[in-house]
Amino acid sequence: MSSKEKNSVTILTESQLSSRAFKDEAYEFYKELRKSQPLYPLSLGALGKGWLISRYDDAIHLLKNEKLKKNYENVFTAKEKRPALLKNEESLTKHMLNSDPPDHNRLRTLVQKAFTHRMILQLEDKIQHIADSLLDKVQPNKFMNLVDDYAFPLPIIVISEMLGIPLEDRQKFRVWSQAIIDFSDAPERLQVNDHLLGEFVEYLESLVRKKRREPAGDLISALIQAESEGTQLSTEELYSMIMLLIVAGHETTVNLITNMTYALMCHGDQFEKLRQQPDLMNSAIEEALRFHSPVELTTIRWTAEPFILHGQEIKRKDVIIISLASANRDEKIFPNADIFDIERKNNRHIAFGHGNHFCLGAQLARLEAKIAISTLLRRCPNIQLKGEKEQMKWKGNFLMRALEELPLSF
């Protein structure tokens, strides 16, 4: 999107927000929005009219605003209910990310104990073993695509073992995950995604049948037990929860590991500083989360009650989309916001969200990134980008900031 186009655009569409061209210039565009149009109009096809939020203070306020709902059934009447865009939508959307209290509290409580500080720390040795095993495979080649060879397999192996699902299925999850996070109402994409989600539902049905017959000490078996108790979880909620844990359990971490490595490769002084001072790793991870936020845009929130923001009436049924990436570059909150500084103080980023829907797996993602990056720098001290940084391409994706690949030599 050129500067001329930016100035002439009055409404952004979903396809524009999802385009590679937008991802390439998003940060400059967000900077302009924060200055002059912090509430920017969107056209979201079948979802209707929406607004893009770009300032940090607005994001904090709206992420906690009870007038905004994640479950559209809490906004629309039965007559207003929109038709499902996908045949398999109902089987995969009844999860906590699309729910409001009290349902949200009930669903989150069912899985929260698996993500406590104590439980996450118990995974440290396992994550370290996975990281070393993955590097063992590529180190003799002196080359790897970080995304395919390291950043993707590490978290998908971890979440697969937590859930109790076969590791040989992990490549399928990659395809299905992309279909789920591909926020598109283009007819051709809808058809493809609906077919893929149908495959995912069939897989979940088969997996749940097997777990019913042979329960184990994994998280899916625990969720099935909750479903069997009747009042805890419906069948649709069970499938949706498993789907969410698979997708959210790895997508954010893939992007965190990749984007952090990319930022270090592009900022040689910071890379060298981290190599010389490994005790800065925690601070560096927080800065990577802020600088290239793995989740660029939030999932949608529906307006249940009208309210005024920046002199504009937000009407009932309007959609609110919050740019976490823009909020995390807000100059009023972060001095020198466009500078990657691994020693940044008071880093109050919201890469994992805020309020009720703060990412349940944030601590796991941080631990996985810490082990992955630390191991990479220790075992491959001469690592460098293979090719020019300008050649690296961001995926065309609505929700995520994700690189297509990251070739590295060492």
252 φ, ψ (degrees, to nearest 5): -65, -40
Task: Residue 51: name the closest of 301, 304, 292, 296 by CA.
Answer: 301
Q: What is the pLDDT of residues 109-128, one digit of tens each?
A: 989 888 999 999 999 999 99
Q: How far is CA 64 from CA 110, 250, 349, 354, in A?
A: 22, 25, 16, 7
Calculate the dihedral angle through the C-alpha atoms of 97, 289, 138, 374, rounding to the nearest 10 degrees.
Answer: -120
| Token pair listed for 201 | 């539902």
List the pLDDT tens digit at each of the 410 positions of the chain.
Answer: 444 444 445 789 988 999 999 999 999 999 999 999 999 999 988 888 999 999 999 999 999 999 999 999 999 988 887 655 556 667 778 899 999 999 999 999 989 888 999 999 999 999 999 999 999 999 999 999 999 999 999 999 999 999 999 888 888 888 888 888 876 666 777 788 888 888 998 999 999 999 999 999 999 998 988 766 656 788 888 999 999 998 888 999 999 999 999 999 999 999 999 999 999 999 999 999 999 999 999 999 999 999 999 999 999 999 999 999 999 999 999 999 999 999 999 999 999 999 999 999 999 999 999 999 999 999 999 999 998 888 899 998 899 999 999 999 99
Calculate the dihedral angle through the C-alpha atoms of 67, 71, 72, 77, rounding to the nearest 10 degrees.
Answer: -90
The span from the CA of 373 to the CA of 281, in Å, is 8
pLDDT of 60 reads: 98
pLDDT of 387 reads: 87
CATH value of 3-409 in 3.30.930.10, 1.10.630.10, 2.40.30.10, 3.40.50.2300: 1.10.630.10
pLDDT of 126 reads: 97
* Beta partners for residue 409, in sequence order: 143, 384
With tokens 């590791």, the residue in question is 167
The span from the CA of 205 to the CA of 267, in Å, is 46
Q: What is the pLDDT of residues 69-117, one digit of tens each?
A: 999 999 998 888 765 555 666 777 889 999 999 999 999 998 988 899 9
Q: What is the pLDDT of residues 202-246, one digit of tens each?
A: 999 999 999 999 999 999 998 988 766 656 788 888 999 999 998
DSSP code of residue 351: T
